[in-house]
């Protein structure tokens, strides 16, 4: 029933939003005004910005996954594994990452030389997390491989958009919104709740991101992508899942050759969406 799906979606979004805001307030309370410390980075303007938005998103989405009604046990567990697993790996890279290698290709190339970068640890770890998550919701080895690759790929792809204020969250809302609407329309409470959880948590943190006070970082972006990937593979049929995986692979490969920021800046429609709610470019 659409009404039941809408009710569960509202519950998931509300719990995710409230928990994410509460976590962000707790994580940033009594921190130095100059934003010094290991959770601080310089943004694209060279200004200090906190990465604690990422852990706040992971905590908010995790709380919502645990508390939102309508999620079957295995799907609830899969949601917790996807969010916490990819979030923890992203946090590891946020705190201990190096710039000796960049991009998917760079980290894997370094690995072939015997150099284990933090990025390689994250890539392999997220791949394993994707497979474990997929095993909880899939039927058979083939589905597990496709779904696991989609979840892991979506986690990595979301991080590639986290280069400007609000961009990764906007991409998440634009891609996750149709999944949420479709699940409500079809009267699928579990799918509606699952899609709403990350969207509510992300939307609640968007003002901090757009205001250039905080950013998702690897922890938040990886978790956001993984949770939306999970929502996609549990809702779509086989052709749809193959299409999503193909799109994720194509965009990830393209990111090795072209700059998403330059592509977006060169397209009037994409640039207007990208700049919506942001400070003007200097």
Lowest mean pLDDT of 26-35, 115-124, 211-220, 244-253, name the range: 26-35
| Whole-number pLDDT of residue 177 | 95
In angstroms, the CA 156 to CA 151 distance is: 9
| Whole-number pLDDT of residue 127 | 94
| Whole-number pLDDT of residue 108 | 62
pLDDT band at 120 (very low <50, low <70, confident <90, very high): confident
pLDDT digits (tens, 9 = 90+) for 163-186: 999 999 999 999 999 999 999 988
In angstroms, the CA 210 to CA 62 distance is: 23
Evaluate the CA torsion angle 193, 194, 196, 202 in order and state its sign. positive
| Whole-number pLDDT of residue 32 | 53
**Rounded-to-10 torsion of CA 244, 63, 86, 94:** 120
Q: Which residue, among 77, 13, 23, has the nearest Cα to 219 in the 3D structure? A: 23
**Would you say residue 281 has pLDDT above 80?**
no
In angstroms, the CA 194 to CA 192 distance is: 5
pLDDT band at 101 (very low <50, low <70, confident <90, very high): low
Asked whether 209 and 165 are in contact (CB, 8 A), the reply is: yes
Mean pLDDT of 235-254: 94
> Position of tokens 């969406």?
273
Lowest mean pLDDT of 87-101, 122-136, 196-210, name the range: 87-101
pLDDT band at 5 (very low <50, low <70, confident <90, very high): confident
| Whole-number pLDDT of residue 31 | 63
Q: Which residue, among 252, 250, 234, 254, has the nearest Cα to 146 in the 3D structure? A: 234
Mean pLDDT for all residues in the chain: 89
pLDDT band at 216 (very low <50, low <70, confident <90, very high): very high
**Would you say residue 2 has pLDDT above 90?**
no
For the chain, give the percent of residues with pLDDT over 70: 90
pLDDT digits (tens, 9 = 90+) for 129-156: 999 999 999 999 999 999 999 999 999 9
Burial 5-34 (b: 16+ CB within 10 A, else e): bbbbbbbbbebbbbbbbebbeebbeeeeee
């Amino acid at each position: 029933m659409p009404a039941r799906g809408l009710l569960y979606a509202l519950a998931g979004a509300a719990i995710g939003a409230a928990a994410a805001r509460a976590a962000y307030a707790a994580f940033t309370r009594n921190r130095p005004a100059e934003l010094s410390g290991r959770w601080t980075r310089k943004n694209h303007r060279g200004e200090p910005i906190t990465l604690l938005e990422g852990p706040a998103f992971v905590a908010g989405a995790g709380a919502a996954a645990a508390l939102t009604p309508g999620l079957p046990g295995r799907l609830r567990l899969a949601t917790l594994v996807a969010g916490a697993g990819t979030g923890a790996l992203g946090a590891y890279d946020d705190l201990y990452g190096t710039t000796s290698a960049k991009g998917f290709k760079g980290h894997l190339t370094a690995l072939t030389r015997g150099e284990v970068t933090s990025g390689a640890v994250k890539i392999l770890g997220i791949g394993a997390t994707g497979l474990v998550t997929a095993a909880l919701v899939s039927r058979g080895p083939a589905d597990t491989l496709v779904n696991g690759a989609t979840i892991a790929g979506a986690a990595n792809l979301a991080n590639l958009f986290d280069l400007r204020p609000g961009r990764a969250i906007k991409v998440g809302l634009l891609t996750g919104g149709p999944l949420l609407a479709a699940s409500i329309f079809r009267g699928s409470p579990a799918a509606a709740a699952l899609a709403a959880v990350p969207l509510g948590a992300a939307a609640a943190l968007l003002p901090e991101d757009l205001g250039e006070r905080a950013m998702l970082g690897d922890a938040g972006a990886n978790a956001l992508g993984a949770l939306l990937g999970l929502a996609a593979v549990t809702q779509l049929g086989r052709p749809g899942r193959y299409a999503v995986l193909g799109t994720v692979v194509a965009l990830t490969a393209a990111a090795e050759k072209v700059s998403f920021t330059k592509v977006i800046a060169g397209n009037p429609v994409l640039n207007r969406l990208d700049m919506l709610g942001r400070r003007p470019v200097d």
